[in-house]
Amino acid sequence: MPVLLDGLERLEYRGYDSAGVAVVSAGEGLQIQKCKGRLRSLRDKLDSLPPLTGTTGIGHTRWATHGEPNDVNSHPHVSQNGRVAIVHNGIIENYAEIKQFLLQQGVRFRSDTDSEVVAQLLEYCFDGCGDILDAVYAVLERLEGAYALGILCADRPDVLIAARKDAPLLLGYGDGENFIASDATAIIRHTRRVAYMEDGEVAVLTADSAAVFDAYRRPVEKQIHTIDWDVSAAEKGGYAHFMFKEIMEQPEALRHTISPRLKDGQITFGELRLADDFLRRMHRIYLVACGSSYHVGMLGKYNLERFLRLPVEVCLASEFRYSDPLVDENTLVVVISQSGETLDSMAALREAKARGGYILSIVNVVGSSIARESDDVLYTWAGPEIAVATTKAYSTQLAVLTMLGLYMARRLGRVEEAEYAAVTAELAVLPEKLEKVLACTDACQYLASLYFNREHVFFIGRNLDYALGLEGSLKLKEISYIHSESYAAGELKHGTISLIEPGTLVVALATYEKLLDKAVSNIVEVKARGAEVVALTTESGRERLEQLATHTLVIPDTHPVLRPNLGVAPLQLLAYYIALHRGCDIDKPRNLAKSVTVE
């Protein structure tokens, strides 16, 4: 139980609608406890009961898909005669059909979940064949959809079985103990030696052995990887929230991302396989991602088109796969993902691959599914990101994407020497400049105290500032629950400006001197309708903006393509302090989960 509960605590950021554990022992059989709410509710419940005993167990925290978050729908799910218990991530798409079949066989269901059919079908098959592994293979053959499964059987208390398809799952090899987990953070206290399960694989673990089989039940030799980051990287280390810690870690994360790839003013990506021949025939680039990673793509579009003079499409992963995308063997598809497990992005990657595209992914989690299925991968090296709202992963993705654009442009001879030198010089000092921005938390704290009780906030900006506003707005709404939108400032007059009324808070992003006059005009327009304006600008824009805006936040001057890397920090801090004032659960906002492994 301590191993399970500690592991769940480290994974809770991935889903927190409910929590549950099951342990199995020869004497007691299967023992299960689960309940709605956070892990602490489960801990309270367990404290009031006699201890569960056993050394084989599974645990789960849920992000509800089928069936509301309540005690019964929590995992683990148990078969009707209590012989099998399972935990499941993913969605069983044909669950209704399987349920119908089992109901006809007289099986009684308890929950509204898709997952319960796995437990019930397993017991049904186990009753038929008498061997739990045979039963697992029979069940997997009938399942459609995505799953990472952990399975216990009362008749085999020494055994834990795991199976994977389209949902993350890894094995941990210990000394006299073995583990399964959806993320290494859950088991790093016990072992650093892990192997990533592939689709179709089934693992049979005991305390002393870990055998893996493929979909045809042939033994598989797994490659063992050693996790090289320290357990403290996934701990709060004295900070009140992971989000604040991760905001503050951004300069260091950027150093890790940039410095090994920037030598004597030259960008080098030693890890890239991207061939000259492909680069020369590349005629289109797609940037594909979800959420904040998509916002990185929005910024990337401006920068990559500037450097490469090639059409760059930025596409939401969930839309891309159903849009009959124009991908061929001369298309570069860049998939951006912190977790490397986002199912929408994974599905888009496969769609692009099937159409012949060259897949380069920008990923934070080493060994994740997206990284493994790509032709090339650039890791962001931001370290584990625990807060649900991304910060340091966003910043490092942005730096990698900008560097990638510049690097490809250089190889193709499309970037002027002066521009290349100017950007690389600024990249080298970006971490220090970001440190300066982060030293001024007071201003954001003060603004948060003024504006935390607003119902609506608007972000406006043009070009890179518009794309940056999308991220500022998402940060604010996801953690503070304030309704917020980001608009291309030039679009206001085409409809949106009707939303502005006396006292409306408008965050005006004006970091781009080429468009400063336009930004100023848009600020004047919203002020004329009574808006209060917080402006974000650079040192060179300070004087003009201070005369105009209600409040002004200032970032150091840097090359224009890198400004969003500095500008994002005050927006993250503003969202953080506003959420703090409102008493929100900052690291685990309602209805969200860190790794979105369902479609």
Residue type, 6: D
* 266-270-274 Cα angle (round to 5): 100
- Of the candidates 10, 22, 33, the residue with the CA atom closest to the CA atom of residue 57: 22
Amino acid found at 532: E
How many CB atoms lie under 10 A from the CB of residue 216?
A: 7
Q: How far is the CB of 428 from ligand F6R (least distance, A)?
A: 26
Candidates 230-238, 291-299, 500-508, 543-551 — which segment interacts with ligand F6R by CB under 6 A?
A: 291-299
Q: From the CB of 451, what's the least distance to ligand F6R, in Å?
A: 20
Helix, strand, coil share (%) of the chain residues, nearest 5: 45, 20, 35
Least distance to ligand F6R from the beta carbon of 467, Å? Answer: 14
- The two three-digit tokens of residue 174, written as one number: 């210990």
Pick the stretch among 290-298, 499-507, 508-516, 565-573 that binds ligand F6R (CB under 6 A). 290-298
For 371-421, give the secondary structure using H, E and C: HHHCCEEEECCCCCCCCCCCCHHHHHHHHHHHHHHHHHHHHCCCCCHHHHH
Nearest residue to the partner ligand F6R, using Cβ: 291
Q: Kind and range of the H or E element at 202?
A: strand 202-205
Instruction: Say if CB 273 and CB 398 are below 8 A apart.
Output: no
Span interacting with ligand F6R, options 151-159, 236-244, 332-340, 376-384, rule CB under 6 A: 332-340
Distance (Å, whole) CA 313 – CA 562: 20
Stretch that binds ligand F6R, among 29-37, 101-109, 285-293, 424-432 (CB under 6 A): 285-293
**Shortest Cβ 108–ligand F6R spacing (Å):** 37
Provide the 10 A C-beta neighbour count for residue 177.
16
Residues 47 and 25: beta-carbon distance below 8 Å:
no
Closer residue to ligand F6R in complex, CB, 250/345: 345
Of 369, 384, 352, 10, nearest in space to 167 by CA? 369
Say if CB 506 and CB 574 are below 8 A apart.
no
Interface with ligand F6R includes 299 (CB under 6 A)?
no
Cβ distance 97 to 126 under 8 Å?
A: no
Instruction: Rule CB under 6 A: choose which of 172, 291, 469, 564 binds ligand F6R.
Output: 291
Q: Inter-axis angle of helices 392-411 and 417-438, to 10 degrees?
A: 170
Residue with structure tokens 């002004």? Answer: 552
Number of residues forming the site for ligand F6R (CB under 6 A): 14
Distance of closest approach, residue 394 Cβ to ligand F6R, in angstroms: 7
Q: How far is the CB of 293 from ligand F6R (least distance, A)?
A: 4
Residue among 57, 34, 438 nearest 251 (CA): 438
How far apart are the C-alpha atoms of 515 and 523, rounded to whole Å? Answer: 12
Q: Compute the least distance from the CB of residue 206 to ligand F6R, in Å.
A: 33
Choose between 92 and 371: whose C-beta lies nearer to ligand F6R.
Answer: 371
Six-digit token pair at 90? 């993913």
* 8-state DSSP, 313: E
For ligand F6R, which residue of 342, 473, 511, 538 counts as binding (CB under 6 A)? 342
290 binds ligand F6R (CB under 6 A): yes
Please report which residue ranges of 290-362 form alpha helices under DSSP H: 291-308, 317-320, 343-354
User: From the list 89, 111, 318, 337, which residue makes contact with ligand F6R (rule: CB under 6 A)?
Assistant: 337
Nearer to ligand F6R, 139 or 386 (CB): 386
Taking a C-beta distance cutoff of 8 angstroms, is the pair 565, 582 a contact?
no
Shortest spacing between CB 65 and ligand F6R, in angstroms: 15
What are the backbone angles phi and psi of residue 517, rounded to the nearest 5°?
A: -60, -40
Contacting range for ligand F6R; rule: CB under 6 A; set: 196-204, 206-214, 338-346, 508-516? 338-346
Shortest Å, Cβ 291 to ligand F6R:
2
Candidate ranges 230-238, 286-294, 321-329, 541-549; the one touching ligand F6R (CB under 6 A): 286-294
- Least distance in angstroms from the C-beta of 11 to ligand F6R: 15
- Nearest to ligand F6R of 191, 361 (CB atom): 361
CA angle at 528 for the pair 522 and 529, rounded to the nearest 5°: 100
Angle between helices 563-581 and 417-438 (to 10 degrees): 20
Looking at the Cβ atoms of 5 and 598, the one nearer to ligand F6R is 598
| Using rule CB under 6 A, residue 348 touches ligand F6R | no
Rounded CA separation 102/118 (Å): 11
User: Is there binding between residue 292 and ligand F6R (CB under 6 A)?
Assistant: yes
CA distance 407 to 77: 51
The distance of closest approach from Cβ of residue 3 to ligand F6R in the complex, given in angstroms and rounded to an integer, is 26
- Smallest distance from ligand F6R to CB 566, Å: 19
Among 194, 212, 304, 389, binds ligand F6R (CB under 6 A): 389
Choose which of 293, 303, 486, 538 interacts with ligand F6R (CB under 6 A). 293
Q: List the interface residues with ligand F6R, window 463-492 (CB under 6 A).
A: 474, 478
Between 78 and 365, CB nearer to ligand F6R: 365
| Per CB under 6 A, 333 contacts ligand F6R | no
Per CB under 6 A, which of residues 579..598 are in contact with ligand F6R? 596
Q: Is 345 in the site for ligand F6R (CB under 6 A)?
A: yes
Residue 390 touches ligand F6R, criterion: CB under 6 A: yes
Q: Which parts of this chain interact with ligand F6R (CB under 6 A)? A: 290-293, 337-339, 342, 345, 389-390, 474, 478, 596
